[in-house]
Structure 1
């Protein structure tokens, strides 16, 4: 079953309206993407072109990059193509948009490209980033329902755990069980999509005992249910992988591939700008765009917004291969060579941009 478009996780801004607006934007963007302009084919082993045809449009669901580029002024360096920003991020939303022909690229964790491939939606990864202090500043913690005692991973035995197979949170649950020496039969996995406040509400209502929570959702949960005994624990497991990816057909279009080449260069510069201007970015993105407090925004900068762009991908790919192997074993998916998911022509583009940033 295809996932339905949903608002971005953690946003507190008019959730009901965003559901409608996102659905409408996907439809509208799909219409924008269909024109009579012939596509200039680009072979997978051909060098990335520099020239972009007039009228080329990149449709991107990378909200933090949109804010960083606009706030820093780097958006003014876009030449020869146009960016249409979509209020889309995360695996379920981006995959639905890819299938609708409505989006060229998005930002996700390491799991969505695997599930896209396993569900017959070919994709390519063209940039990666990771947290410089992954264990000290994890993306996710395990939220624990009020009245439930979980002090370490061994205490997961016998618990009801929220589980989203196609998302990073689902992989984290499997990794936590593996680390604790537990099998799926030792717990009760309650399948829920981690969207909006689903996990927060499931914990608060005792539908589940444990659920992976990150960013604004963790903050929201502890603020709302902490007084009643809601807690969280860290897993001690790396959960920091982040990639930019898009439908494989985008990389077979010479003009879009060339535009992405330039965008990646700007994305690297924008990531560095965020590191150099944390307060300004926190105000623009977390406060004005996400509706959080400045204090919460600064705290979140230590995790998801503070990842380092990686210019050499071998170690990153090796870790993702371990994740793919785990999911193949625990969820019954075909074995997958994750190297086939990467367009490594962009690896050098990233490396060059890092050298010049």
Structure 2
């Protein structure tokens, strides 16, 4: 069994290395060993973990993973020159580019599940739906999916943003405020929602059917200007896609255990969440297209309507197809 997996892993790694070698020259491994990508992750470094689990972490370049509470912080780090590659929902790049001097481009899209994107109320709350939040204090993670789906859920319930007392909070701070009685509800995502449920919170609204499932890879301009870093970025994004394909192909239980250990949730719950997520929308990358740009434009227009953006933002100014060719080869 181990021998079979080793053969499969080696083949997968070789498949991924070929386009990288073509992009960087015949001495790719020797030359690219000097290439380093500083990459952001939100929550618990799931991307790093899935690469290790699938045996695809032996990259011909170095990766420095940095953990953040949200994609908004990743984009702030890119703007500050502290990250080469950021992963986020459609929302953070909008705000990072709003001043018109973005030093990054969206280079690829990773399709992903929109589960665990919820508005929750604490144990014992009498609120059963979004309409019941009128006049209440609601925490939300600003400039993220939580900001977006909370606004849309309020509209669906016939409420305006001004009908609630919305307070921007980081995920950890929001959890503390929810449990301490500082807020009546919390709009968040990922591990913070998982933890909230473990602490007795219940769901009153979900962004599952509001969000597009487009999660964006943004690269600093300096990465796009370096052929070796650009090839490394394409290779890494493709490896993550292949790693999740490996998980779906009969290896879900093992990665559920990895997830449970990292997120401190029961194994059965971790397995259910992983199964549901991959069933709803398998994690896989795709190249930039007109439809992905249009999807983010719709999001930006909503934030203009909300007043969070001072003026109309043309999102295509910070998208590029420069990585498409490399990514297509790597995939």
TM-score range, shorter chain: 0.7 to 0.9
Q: From 54, 66, 70, give the equivalent of 1:86.
A: 66
* Number of residue pairs aligned between Structure 1 and Structure 2: 294
Q: Which runs of 5+ in 1 are unaligned?
A: 1-47
Which deviations, in whole Å up to 9, do the C-alpha atoms of 1:302-353 show, x marking residues without a partner?
Answer: 3389534335643333222111111122113332222222222334544455
Mapping of residues 20-169 of structure 1, within 5 Å: 49-51=23-25, 53-54=31-32, 55-62=34-41, 63-76=45-58, 78-79=59-60, 81-88=61-68, 90-119=70-99, 120-131=101-112, 134=114, 138-169=115-146
CA 85–220 in structure 1, closer or farther in 2 if over 3 Å, else same: closer
CA 347–90 in structure 1, closer or farther in 2 if over 3 Å, else same: farther
Match of 2:221 in 1: 248
CA contact (8 A) 2:154 2:161 kept: yes
- Residue 186 of structure 2 is aligned to residue 204 of structure 1: no
Match of 1:222 in 2: 197
Match of 2:254 in 1: 280
- Residue 320 of structure 2 is aligned to residue 320 of structure 1: no
CA 271–312 in structure 1, closer or farther in 2 if over 3 Å, else same: farther
CA contact (8 A) 1:203 1:210 kept: yes
Q: TM-score, normalised by structure 1?
A: 0.72
SS in 2 for 1:118: coil
Match of 1:36 in 2: none
Q: Distance in 2 between matches of 1:85 and 1:66?
A: 8
Q: TM-score, normalised by structure 2?
A: 0.77
Which deviations, in whole Å up to 9, do the C-alpha atoms of 1:229-280 show, x marking residues without a partner?
Answer: x421233632333222222232122221122122233222123123222222
CA 116–289 in structure 1, closer or farther in 2 if over 3 Å, else same: same
Mapping of residues 343-354 of structure 1, within 5 Å: 343-354=320-331
SS in 1 for 2:109: strand
Q: Distance in 2 between matches of 1:176 and 1:204?
A: 22
Match of 1:10 in 2: none
Q: Which runs of 5+ in 2 are unaligned?
A: 1-21
- Residue 175 of structure 2 is aligned to residue 181 of structure 1: no
Residue 146 of structure 1 and its aligned partner are, at CA, apart by: 4.2
Residue 121 of structure 1 and its aligned partner are, at CA, apart by: 4.1
Q: From 242, 247, 257, give the equivalent of 1:269.
A: 242
Residue 185 of structure 1 and its aligned partner are, at CA, apart by: 1.8
CA 121–293 in structure 1, closer or farther in 2 if over 3 Å, else same: farther
Residue 117 of structure 1 and its aligned partner are, at CA, apart by: 0.9
For the aligned residues, what is the CA RMSD? 2.8
- Residue 209 of structure 2 is aligned to residue 237 of structure 1: yes
Match of 2:10 in 1: none
